[in-house]
Chains A and B, each alone.
Chain A
Amino acid sequence: EPEVTQTPSHQVTQMGQEVILRCVPISNHLYFYWYRQILGQKVEFLVSFYNNEISEKSEIFDDQFSVERPDGSNFTLKIRSTKLEDSAMYFCASSTDVNTEAFFGQGTRLTVV
């Protein structure tokens, strides 16, 4: 069964460093998303991406964040200068169309020290 894959599964980084989280969405999906979940809190929307541009972003997705689809398969989330409060599980998701089922990856646990 097709699935969304994310790498790495765990990432530890020092405050102020840049990190890139990688995702391979399901191959025939056209809409891509990043969500995050701080420990013990709810899943929060960060950004959606369609047709090589951001279609929607939340207040969390400030100038420190960027997304890119560098090739036909990968979808990345970059955090330029990490802060302690960026520590969270980051989930990538994809869907065939807007308002249809979104399938989530297993997540990347980011720890900023």
Chain B
Amino acid sequence: TQLLEQSPQFLSIQEGENLTVYCNSSSVFSSLQWYRQEPGEGPVLLVTVVTGGEVKKLKRLTFQFGDARKDSSLHITAAQPGDTGLYLCAGASNSGYALNFGKGTSLLVTP
């Protein structure tokens, strides 16, 4: 199994602050996806990164895929309370069918 380690596990910040969360592995992934999950709901896809070194922006969220395709980061600029949630990274398995999920970073943004 290709393990994904996410850090930090928990993050509590104030509105307006910037933050970065990380997703690391010793394995190479053909693609990596970031999801956000609210309590009691399913993961909602934010972005997919495929190419090593790729950077994708989604409003205040910036996603980067490492050059070696083993790691990724999510940077949030000027966090808002609406950003609160569990951020999950998931990498496609070697077969491509399964997604291996990290345990997630639980983000709390307080006003």
Contacts and interface: CB of A to CB of B under 8 A. Distances in A.
Interface residues of A, number: 28
B40 A102 contact: no
B111 interface: no
Contacts of B102: 42
Interface in A31-48: 31, 33, 35, 41-45, 48
Contacts of B88: 42-43
A56 B48 contact: no
B42 A107 contact: yes
Interface string A37-66: 000011111001010000110100000000
A25 interface: no
Chain B binding surface SS class: loop
Most buried by B among A42, A43, A45: A43
A101 B99 contact: no
B68 interface: no
A43 B97 contact: no
Interface in B53-99: 88, 90, 92-93, 95-99
Given A42-B103, A91-B42, A104-B43, A99 B92 contact: yes
16 contacts: A33-B98, A35-B99, A43-B43, A43-B99, A43-B101, A45-B93, A45-B98, A58-B98, A93-B42, A98-B97, A99-B92, A100-B48, A102-B99, A104-B42, A105-B42, A107-B42
